[in-house]
Amino acid sequence: MRRFVPDRVWIARGELETPVARSVQTRYAGPIEVFDGDAPVRPVSVSDGKRELVLQRHRGAFLRHCPAGTAGLVCCNYLVVNLASNCPMDCSYCFLQDYLADAPALTAYTNVEDALAEIDAVVRAHPDRTFRIGTGELSDSLALDPLTDLSRLLVPFFAARRNAVLELKTKTDCVDTLLALDPGGQVVVSWSVNAAAVVERDEAGTAPLADRLAAAHRVQQGGYRVGFHFDPLIEFDGWESGYTAAVDAIAGAVDPATVAWISLGSLRLSPGMTQALGRRAAPSHAQATEVVSGADGKARIWRGLRLRMYRLLVERLRAALGEVPLYLCMESPGVWARVMAEVPTDRALGLRLAAGATW
């Protein structure tokens, strides 16, 4: 298992006795600095910010709607709770290079009890709804878990709530702690996956695809449902065989009966991300992919090729895994109609995924 080991850890003085800070102090053998006031770490870039870990309180609300819910695109009514910011891995296409440019320090938040109280209030107020909530928007859900032990707080909390499903999204194989916990049917562990060529060139510091799938098999054996996200799909020479091989590898590793969902999404780049890609020293498939501007201001693979990629993946996934729930992320109704032969409402899509329904 690949574990992230920061060069240094900084802990806000008032947070030393929180569960997250105590866990890090127990598990980290390197230098720990205690600070007062604002975090003293001032990284100049998101990449620079990955080397040291800051533990401090989060100010403000934790829970919000996924920003993928953009006007004109089909949305799955997903909620995100951000318990960390930045990620120790370094994917070439990662939107955090742009999104966190003004706050790039790798940070784990210590007031987890506030986040859980906020979630609890929402799910109690709407007992007739089922909420899908993920922690993997601004950081990988499990990359810091060997240090923070955060899953020991999250999994029992969601296991006790019948109308809330937690998704832990990762590119790691850090699942040992999860295997000691009972998810109660309410936790999905999902992996961002890609063709092996993309993993090797564009996803620095992540677990190899084979290791991710071995971890997926292990958590299935431990009672968890699993998910997969082919996102972003990236054009490269031989992409058809590369993505077909990735689908076949998934089919060989997991039981489709407890696959909660699989999403497909194209490479999409904000103007700031296009600039960030251009500044990277190492060549990447993402940098070489031809993209065109979209109505939402992001550049995507041109529509004709996106349709070909989606159709190939959908056909292969159906053949290999049967009627598992599939959906498109941040795509227009027109693309949905041509790939999935329907255009669900945001509410209907969210309900289907929460219920594990196929279509």
Mean pLDDT computed over 69-87: 90
> How far is residue 263 from each of residues 3, 48, 184, 208, 238, measured CA to CA in Å?
27, 31, 23, 20, 21
Cα–Cα nearest to 198, from 316, 305, 284: 284
CB atoms within 10 A of CB 327: 20
Amino acid letter for position 284? S
Name the band, by pLDDT with cuts 50, 70 and 90, for residue 282: confident
- When mean pLDDT is compared across 91-105, 249-263, 273-287, the lowest value belongs to 273-287
- When mean pLDDT is compared across 79-88, 91-100, 110-119, 348-357, the lowest value belongs to 348-357
What per-residue confidence (pLDDT) applies to 293?
Answer: 87
**pLDDT above 80 (res 71):** no
Mean pLDDT computed over 270-274: 88
- State the Cα–Cα distance between residues 143 and 164, nearest whole angstrom: 23
**pLDDT above 80 (res 63):** yes
- State the Cα–Cα distance between residues 83 and 220, nearest whole angstrom: 25
**pLDDT above 90 (res 276):** no
Cα–Cα nearest to 251, from 228, 223, 231, 234: 228
216 sits in which H/E element: helix 209-221
Name the band, by pLDDT with cuts 50, 70 and 90, for residue 357: low
What per-residue confidence (pLDDT) applies to 296?
Answer: 82
Q: What is the pLDDT of residues 34-61, one digit of tens each?
A: 999 877 778 888 999 999 999 999 999 9
What per-residue confidence (pLDDT) applies to 286?
Answer: 85
DSSP code at position 26 = H
What per-residue confidence (pLDDT) applies to 295?
Answer: 77
What per-residue confidence (pLDDT) applies to 100?
Answer: 94
Q: What is the pLDDT of residues 314-335, one digit of tens each?
A: 999 999 999 999 999 999 999 9
Mean pLDDT computed over 176-190: 98
What per-residue confidence (pLDDT) applies to 359?
Answer: 52
Please state the length of the chain: 359
Count Cα atoms within 13 angstroms, Cβ side, for 112. Answer: 21
Name all domains of the chain by residue range, CATH numbers in brackets: 60-355 (3.80.30.30)
DSSP 139-180: S-SSTTHHHH-THHHHHHHHHT-TTEEEEEEESS---TTGGG
Residue pair 224/188 in contact (Cβ under 8 Å)? The answer is yes
50 sits in which H/E element: none
Report CA Rg, the chain.
20
Percent of the chain with pLDDT over 70: 99
Name the band, by pLDDT with cuts 50, 70 and 90, for residue 69: low
Mean pLDDT computed over 66-87: 88
Name the band, by pLDDT with cuts 50, 70 and 90, for residue 304: very high
Q: Can you tell me which residue has the tokens 């329907």?
A: 342
> How far is residue 181 from each of residues 93, 176, 185, 339, measured CA to CA in Å?
33, 10, 11, 38
Give, in degrees to the nearest 5, the angle at Cα 225 between 164 and 140. 75
**pLDDT above 90 (res 2):** no
**pLDDT above 70 (res 287):** yes
Q: What is the pLDDT of residues 121-142, one digit of tens each?
A: 999 999 999 999 999 999 999 9
Higher per-residue pLDDT: 106 or 283: 106
Name the band, by pLDDT with cuts 50, 70 and 90, for residue 72: confident
Q: What is the pLDDT of residues 11-30, one digit of tens each?
A: 999 999 999 999 999 999 99
| Mean pLDDT, the chain, whole residue set | 94
Percent of the chain with pLDDT over 90: 82
- Cα torsion angle, 103, 82, 15, 49, sign: negative
Dig out the tokens for 222 from the structure: 């431990």
